[in-house]
Structure 1
Amino acid sequence: MSSPAAEQAPHHRAEPRLDGLAPAALAQLQLAACAIRDGAEAPARRALGSVLDMAPEHPEALRLYGILHLRAHRHAEAQGSLRRAIAQWPDYALAHSDLGNVLQAAGELDAAFASWRQACALAPQAAMPWFNLGRHLQLHGDTAAAIDALARAQSLAPDFLPALILLGDALVHAGRFEEADLRYRAALARHPGCGDAWRGLANMKTRPLGDADREQLRAALRRPNLAASDRIAMGFALGKVHEDHGDYEQAFATLNAANAQQRDLAMWNAAAFRTHVDAMLAIAARLPSPHDTGLGHPVIFIVGLPRSGSTLFEQILAAHPEVEGASELPDLEDVLSEESARRRQPLLQWLAVATADDWARLGRRYLERTARWRSRKPRHVDKLPSNWLLAGVLGAMLPGARIVDARRDALETGWSCYKQQFYRLPHFACTLSDIAAYIRDHERTMARWQAADPRRIRVQPYEALLADPEHEIRALLAFCGLAFDPACLDYHLAARSVRTASAAQVRQPLQRDTARAARYGALLDPLRFGLGIPTLG
């Protein structure tokens, strides 16, 4: 989303002139931008109303109204405000870019990209429209085009760190690791305390960070006035450096501190989550039988814990000529959120009263939203791990879909989660005890649904794949209704974008030496205790 304070930036030819506004109107516009930034809707409305009283239909006030409506999920009102702004100033690139954001939020993706591209055409020498286009291309899986747009943004604004970082991320997803490394290090040359650059380097998990990196990280962490987000990201990166060098006690202490800081930002409530899981299990057990048991056949969901091998299983399936790997899609959650907004009720209140026709409608909505992933191949993989919580709902909504529950040794999975910085907060992975509780909630939920309908749910152990790759790959393909294809055995050769923290790992043949938990000994006893595994201490 464009900054609501964008009127403070230098104005390009394709932006509306603010010179004609009276000083009082300019002051109110500034107040509105700050209020929107801070999430204060009432003051923002008052300030924008004052501007429009003084300057009716002023495009910048209308644009800010569009952003205000978008942040409150009022998509129709947001579109209306932005289209009025564009009607006043058709060449206003920033308004076109913001309209794209609104259209995306409303599920109109083709129209959104048309607006983002129009913004670039109107202001080709401005970095922000290219950055916004590249960011969304990357989010929606068009990595090659994203790299082009982000490179254009970075060339127009060489010191704009977000463009450098996002370009590095896109290059990682494309498997161009040397080029990504250069972008991240260019960002660090400009700002040694840039946590996102260190996060990018640390997430290339097949490339150890060296002694020089360790010293640079330590020096950066001593900088005064370091932002909390940067300090946390660098803490996770430094933990990886210590592990790469075999300093396991130091790695544990460093990661423990980083997770504590992360948890301070937003605390996970394991008891409340367990109550939510229980409610979902109880309600989903009473959902109506579907009219069309084949609805959803084109979809393969991969669910489970993060760091459990889900990206690897997606890579194997995406090597098949009939399957597109779509990575971690928000669409299932978004469809349910749309329905909650339509009914003006939270999910748990309307689940029990939804009819079979309602579920079929929601299933078709998901297929409509994800149709672009099946434009070249007839089926797609959706591997958002947390969709395990909706496995029971999927039996009513998309009963023809197949669900692969990715499993890896629970201790290894839990420790891998603890080492990984997650940005969606609050997150369960900030304490070892919360990780154990989350794993057990996942296991009991999936055991319930897999026992009820093994035809549509398969538990896929990572260790079984290591022990007998061809047998497991053949069984996985058969479960998904796919003929065996030898390309799936050479999954690491598949040329595709991989948009997760495992981007580097899945471009290698199977590795059998990835276990790390045992090297930490009794330090991981809280995780062992929570998982019901004998402790060492």
Structure 2
Amino acid sequence: MSDSDPRLAGLTPKVIATLHAGARALRDGRLPQALTLLDDAHRQAPQHPEPLRYLALAQLQARRPQAAAALLRQALCLAPDDALLHSDLAAALAAGGDVEAALAGWRQAVTLDPALMSAWFNLGRNLQQQGETAGAIAALERACTLAPQALPPRVLLGDALVHAGRFVEAAGHYRAALAVHPACGDAWRGLSNIKTMPLDEADAVALRAQLERADAVASDRIAMLFALGKLEEDRGHHAAALAAFSAANALQKQLTPWSADAFRTYVQQALRLTADLPAPLDPRLGEEVIFIVGLPRSGSTLFEQILASHPEVEGASELPDLGIVIQQESQRRGVPYPHWIAQASAEDWHRLGREYLARTARWRQRRPRQTDKQPDNWKHVGILRAMLPGATIIETRRDPLETAWSCFKQQFYSQPHFANDMADIALYMQGCTHAMQQWRARDPTHIHLHVYEDLLAAPEARIRALLADCGLPFDPACLQFHRAERSVRTASAAQVRQPLRTDTARALAYGLLLEPLLALLQMPPPL
């Protein structure tokens, strides 16, 4: 923001100085000071939209999206055709959970100003989060055209193209990002995750050169180490791969430590508190939903792809909605989950189940049923027989060593994460297995175990069993799951677009190098 910015036209030098000071405080993270200064600027010029806009941005940074939206609506009364105000209002609406209104706001912003790159980027990013990959690609392409050197839209466009199965185009955009910033960790992550297009010797040289840079930030260094580990594994250099993966995870765990004690406590509490739940008001509530849960890297994307090939099922991928509904109920009660479980009545569970179904209704507009493939939802399976008693739960499981190793070498977005330490991986896997066994015993009609290796050994028989467990008639399209045209928004996007392969095991090739991990997996669970 400069004094000559046309958005400041009509403001006095004093107000501009106050606005500058508030903007600097906001940029530097001095939020209380920013709020005071920006409120002062607004009071000095109550009929000008720009102080209102900056004050709204400060409220948004303070995690008060409703207050931010109110200020931006006030500003739009003064300047109804201001594209940036519409874009900022959309951001506030999205932060407040009104995604549909936010998307409409960004569309209005780009209509008013087709050159507003930030609005195209936010429109594309949020469309992608909603699974509208074609629209996301179109919006992100516009953003890249407007700002060819900008990294976030370029990398996100690569991600969207991967989800659409357009891997060659995606790789081109990741490499375009690397041409701008050779140490861009997100671009290296994207390239490495296209597992059907391995990195080559030139990439190995480039990665090592970038890892030597003293100015490489930790997030980029972590991503590059994961990419280097994958490259070395593909070349059969297993000791070098293990070293790279170990270095990446050690740095990530140092930045975001995961609490094993908190996890143990959660599993114990969740099992105890879900032992006795009220009978559901409607035993069929949720029968539209198929939850796919379990450990990451256990084949869950493959099982979802098979189900999504069925004409009655929409593949919704990894949805946050169950966790959001639970979190909002915790906030409403002022009691953390799972402690309020025993206080919830049958009416409460029914209400929460309907809230989940309302939040996910758009996934059932084309087809009557949907998947929800959020692996972490296994932590909430214990309450589903009260909250969504008609839902089907598919637990996916894979060879423990292959699962554990695959977790260790995969960079996860969400942190802190159990996969940054081998001992934590073993504990988490044992906790998940222990809890799911008990919950399956309590509700065997709705909770079903499916094993990845069994699917590889007898594909048609296991696909028929999977469909039967979901109450679906057999459809031959499910045998050709790799031909299904849908957005796949996980790290397995490339693999599930290929026929079943029996050569996906990687851990055994490491031999004695993974003996410590195998020993941890064979220990009795400390729960």
1:41-80 alignment, distance < 5 Å: 41-56=31-46, 58-80=48-70
Please say if residues 433 and 527 of structure 1, whose CA atoms lie closer than 8 Å, have aligned partners that are also in contact: yes
Letter in 2 for 1:301: F
3-state secondary structure, aligned to 1:500? coil
Residue 451 of structure 1 is matched in structure 2 by 441
> C-alpha separation between the residues in 1 aligned to 2:3 and 2:297?
41
CA separation of 1:370 and 1:181: change in aligned 2, threshold 3 A: same
Provide the alpha-carbon RMSD of the alignment. Answer: 1.9
Return the alpha-carbon distance in structure 2 between the equivalents of residues 461 and 77 of structure 1: 49
CA deviation after TM superposition for structure 1 residue 123, in Å? 1.3
In the TM superposition, what is the alpha-carbon distance from 1:316 to its structure 2 partner? 0.3
TM-score (normalised: structure 2): 0.95
1:238 aligns with 2:228: yes
1-structure distance, mates of 2:154, 2:78: 34
- Which residue does the alignment assign to 1:526? 516
Distance 1:221 1:96 in 2: 41
Deviates more, 1:439-448 or 1:281-290: 281-290
SS state of the match for residue 348, structure 1? coil
Q: What residue in structure 2 maps to residue 97 of structure 1?
A: 87
May I ask how many residue pairs the two structures share in their alignment? 524
Give the alignment partner of residue 323 of structure 2, picking from 314, 318, 333: 333
1:349 to 1:93, Cα distance in 2 relative to 1, 3 A: farther
Answer whether contact 2:39 2:55 (CA < 8 A) is retained. Answer: no
1: CA distance, partners of 2:2 / 2:169: 34
1:97-118 per-residue CA deviation (whole Å, 9 max, x = no partner) reads 2322333343333222111111
| Identity in percent | 58
Rounded Cα–Cα distance in structure 1 between residues aligned with 2:3 and 2:160 = 27
Deviations 1:375-410 (A, max 9, x none): 101111110110000001212111111111111111
What whole-Å deviation, never above 9, does each CA across 1:255-305 have from its counterpart, x for those lacking one? 101111111111011111111121122112233221111111111111111
Q: Quick one: which amino acid aligns to residue 62 of structure 1?
A: L
Residue 132 of structure 2 is aligned to residue 142 of structure 1: yes
SS of 2:10 mapped into structure 1: coil
Q: Using the TM superposition, give the Cα deviation of residue 68 of structure 1 relative to its aligned residue in structure 2, in angstroms.
A: 3.8
User: Aligned match of 1:474 in 447, 464, 471?
Assistant: 464
1:495 corresponds, among 485, 497, 515, to 485
Alignment-derived partner of residue 372 in structure 1: 362
Tell me, in whole angstroms, the C-alpha distance in 1 between the residues paired with 2:56 and 2:344. Answer: 33
Shift of 1:66: 3.2
Question: 1:125 is matched with which residue?
Answer: 115
Checking the alignment, whether the CA contact within 8 Å between 1:407 and 1:460 is kept in structure 2 is yes
Contact 1:57 1:84 (8 Å CA) reproduced: no
1:212-253: per-residue Cα shift (whole Å, max 9, x none)?
A: 110111111122311111111101000011001000000000
Which letter does structure 2 place at the counterpart of 1:330? P
- The equivalences for 1:146-225 within 5 A come to 146-225=136-215
Equivalents in 2 of 1:59, 1:438: separation in Å?
51
Return the letter of the residue paired with 2:157: L
Deviation at 1:78, TM superposition (A): 2.8
Give the counterpart of 1:511 among 485, 495, 501. Answer: 501
Aligned-partner residue type, residue 502 of structure 2: R
- The superposition leaves residues 44-86 of structure 1 with CA deviations (integer Å, 9 ceiling, x where unpaired) of 3222222222222543333334344444543432321221122
Q: Distance in 2 between matches of 1:438 and 1:71?
A: 34
TM-score after normalising by structure 1: 0.94
Amino acid at match of 1:466: L
Could you tell me how far apart the structure 1 residues matched to 2:84 and 2:335 are?
Answer: 34
Q: How far apart, in 2, do the equivalents of 1:420 and 1:313 lie?
A: 19
CA contact (8 A) 2:381 2:439 kept: yes
Question: Any unmatched runs of 5+ in structure 1?
Answer: 1-6
Partner of 1:441: 431
**What is the aligned partner in structure 1 of residue 414 from structure 2?**
424
What is the alpha-carbon distance in structure 2 between the residues aligned to residue 38 and residue 19 of structure 1? 25
